[in-house]
Structures are given as C-alpha cells and as structure tokens.
Amino acid sequence: MKKTYSVYVDDDKVTRARALGFELSPILERSLDMVLSQEFEDLVINSKLAIFNERISEIKIAIAECQYRLKAYQSDLETLELEKQALLKDYEYTKRVVHINNLTQALNQIIIMQGYDLEATRNLAGDIIQDLMKVNPSFNLEMHAERLKLIMES
C-alpha cells in the first residue's frame, strides 16, 4: 500500500533531477529499498573500507618520508660527530704545540740571560725543563742550548 508523505528536499536538486528526466517518487522508493536491503550495508562498508585504505596509504607514505628523513639526519649526525672529533683532535694538538712553544720560549730566554750556563739554567728553569720533558721525553737541555747558541750566533 502506498501513501503520500511530505518530504523536505533541496529545491535545486529536485529541479536538476527533473531536468534529467527523473521522477522523485521512484527515486525515493529505490533509495529506501537500498537502505533496507543488504546493498546499502555493502555500500556503507565499502565506503568505510575505502576511507580506511586511503588513510592507511597516507600513513605508509608519511612513514616512508619520515624514514628517509631519519636516514638523512643520521648521516648528518655521523658526519658532524666525525668533524667534531677532528676539530677536537686538531685543537688538542694545537694546544700542545702552543704549550711547548711557550715553554721553549721561556727556556730560551733564561738560557740566553744565563749566558748559556746550563747549571744556572737548571736552577732557574727546573720546572720549565720538567714540563718540557713531560710533553717531550726525549728533550735534552744540552742539545737544545747548543742549537739555540748556533741559531743566535748566525
């Protein structure tokens, strides 16, 4: 049995549907049949599955992008750590060279002021000589004083 019902529908949609040759009653009846049948449930499930599949694809792409960026960051980190170690090594070497140079300059001044008297130099510069021997165990005061005298006389 069929009855008449009032249904509120967008006027523009009704106009377009009629322009295409569709009548509202059969469309509404077919729609209700779909809603009440298994077809509608399949449509809902398939729509939800499509949404899930799209979101899963988006997440997989985002994960791949993150993994790529992570590898790039890890590579940058390794490079920076190597450069840092090289810088620290150079810095330590430079500090050592500057320290030896400062000790040597101080010792040279004392040797010259003492007129190349090694005993007087040892008395005045004992701590400097010890420090030089710590950083250069093969340091020899006699050989150093001889070389200094040759350089100063030339």
Span 109-143, pLDDT tens digits: 999 999 999 999 999 999 999 999 999 999 999 99
**Which position has the token pair 């300059």?**
105
**Identity of the amino acid at 131:** D
- Which pair of structure tokens corresponds to residue 27? 């469309």
For 135, residues 6+ apart whose C-beta sits below 8 A from its C-beta are 96, 99, 100, 103
Amino acid, res. 88: L
Report the pLDDT value the prediction gives residue 28, as an integer from 0 to 100. 80
**Would you state the pLDDT for residue 24?**
82
Stated length of the chain: 154
Identify the pLDDT of residue 60: 97
Binned at pLDDT 50, 70 and 90, residue 38 comes out as low
Per-residue pLDDT reduced to its tens digit, 41-92:
677 788 889 999 999 999 999 999 999 999 999 999 999 999 999 999 999 9
Residue 145: which pLDDT band, with cuts at 50, 70 and 90?
very high
